[in-house]
Amino acid sequence: MSTIINTSFDSLYLTSHLPDEVEIETLTPQVTVTIKVDDTEVFKSDYYPYAQMVYFRDVRSIVESAMQQMGLAIATFVFSVKDLESYTKSSGEIKVVYSELKSSTTSEVFLTKHFLSTRKSALLSRSCPFSLHVFSKAYEQCSNYCIIYYYPSYAPGQLLSLRYDFNSKLSEKQDILSVSADYSDFQAILESKNIFNATVLHVYFCTSPRVFDIYFTSDAPSDTFQFLNNFNLMETVCLFGATTTKTDISRSEAVQGRITSFYDVTMRVKHEVETAPLTYDEARHLIQLLTSRSITRCVAGDTYAPVIITDCTPEITDNISTPIRLKFTYEYNDQTEWL
């Protein structure tokens, strides 16, 4: 063989774990490197070896950029090299899951032990839409259930629990599954067991060994946002705190005799958010909201409008005696307020 890829590839990666460098050894004076994501060619270029070696970098940035543009959280990635003798060497098909952050474990271990979120719990209002995302191997069998903690209608102060088991087989192929976990979903489960008008307080959700705690409150959040998270998946967060709206009015003045009038009036509205006290993990998770490429805010019911974060200087401390409050400013993308 005149050309070989010396770098070994695993069959599954978080994109943040893709090799920093791919080493190619060749006896020919030129090779062509091609990268495909889900059968779409996203990169192709010729390289000229030095001392029979080519070192290819930036695999991660190419793959992540393609997945961003294609709106993918999981994809099939292929790295191939073709030399002047028309010999082609390929990495084979590799599954990649989008991730901007690295894990201290291997990609496979992380994906089989965690939901695709950087938080392990969420505090939600009862009207907030919410989904959990999980990576599944083909035909993966696991203990898949939830435990619902609730107040029954006949005894509002008595805390009861119900275990509900889901299908133990997640998927017939490697994929990312989304599971709806709204307040109404768990009320529906209780009603299927003839438990009506119950108040759900807490849900322990387990797709073994992955676990997630969901807490529901009757309080209305000051803001509810949906944003693309670390895994290029939409995630919902409820913020409880205070929002201050500031309006900057700019206008030109004209004076005719003793009469003054204004024209070219423009108005810019900004909303300054200060969260309620957060834990260290909650604050770290919210940093993803502040840096996300796509953010929408709930303006009414199921209607969400795109916003941009215009100002934020988050400071996070691991000193447990110091409450963490994040402050940031947002405005609507089209500079138009909602009724």
Report the CATH number that the domain containing residue 299 is assigned in CATH: 2.40.30
Do 9 and 123 fall into the same domain?
no
Residues 335, 232 share a domain: yes
Query: What CATH number does residue 76 fall under?
Result: 2.60.40.3110
Tell me the pLDDT of the chain averaged across its residues.
93
Distance (Å, whole) CA 338 – CA 332: 9
Asked if residue 198 is part of any domain, the answer here is: yes
165 shares a domain with 135: yes
Tell me the two tokens of residue 9.
């590839």
In a domain, 147, yes or no: yes
Give yes or no: residues 165 and 233 share one domain: no
- Domain closes at, from 78, 104, 130: 104
31, part of any domain: yes
pLDDT given for residue 332 in this prediction: 96
Mark whether 127 and 70 lie in a shared domain. Answer: no
Conformation bin of residue 139: beta by default, left when phi > 0, alpha when psi is -120 to 50: left
Question: How many separate domains does the chain show?
Answer: 3
- Indicate whether 170 pLDDT > 80: no
Query: What pLDDT does 320 receive?
Result: 77
Q: Does the pLDDT value for residue 176 go beyond 80?
A: yes
85 and 59 within one domain: yes
- The answer as to whether 316 is a domain residue is yes
- Asked whether the predicted pLDDT for residue 339 surpasses 70, the reply is yes
pLDDT per residue over 314-336, tens digit each?
Answer: 888 888 778 899 999 999 999 89
Which residue among 104, 129, 158 closes a domain?
A: 104
Q: Is residue 286 part of a domain?
A: yes
Regarding whether 205 and 225 lie in a shared domain, the answer is: no
Handedness of CA 238, 244, 245, 249 (dihedral sign): negative
Q: What is the pLDDT of residue 253?
A: 83
Q: Which two tokens stand for residue 213?
A: 């705690």
Let me know whether 184 and 255 are in one domain: no
pTM of the shown model = 0.91
The span from the first CA to the last CA of the chain, in angstroms, equals 69
Number of C-beta neighbours around residue 285 at 10 A = 21
Between the alpha carbon of residue 304 and those of residues 81, 224, 298, 307, the distances in Å are 45, 9, 4, 9
Confidence class for position 1, pLDDT limits 50, 70, 90: low
109 belongs to a structural domain: no
pLDDT of 169 above 80:
no
Q: Where is average pLDDT lowest: 91-105, 217-231, 263-277?
A: 263-277
Residues 215 and 148 grouped into a single domain: yes
Average pLDDT over residues 194-217: 96
Per cent of the chain over pLDDT 90 is 78
Q: How many CA atoms lie within 13 A of 227 on its CB side?
A: 22
Q: Which of 104, 127, 155 is the last residue of a domain?
A: 104
pLDDT of residue 190: 97
Query: What's the pLDDT tens digit per position in 116-149?
Result: 999 999 999 999 999 999 999 888 788 899 999 9
Same domain for 65 and 121, yes or no, is no
Tens digit of each residue's pLDDT (9 = 90 or more) over 53-99: 999 999 999 999 999 999 999 999 999 999 998 899 999 999 999 99
pLDDT of residue 313: 82
What are the beta bridge partners of residue 107? none
Residue 267 in contact with residue 196, Cβ under 8 Å?
no
Are residues 211 and 277 part of one domain? no
In a domain, 71, yes or no: yes
Residues 55 and 140 placed together within one structural domain of the fold: no
Tell me, yes or no, whether 328 lies in a domain: yes
Query: What residues make up the domain containing 236?
Result: 221-339
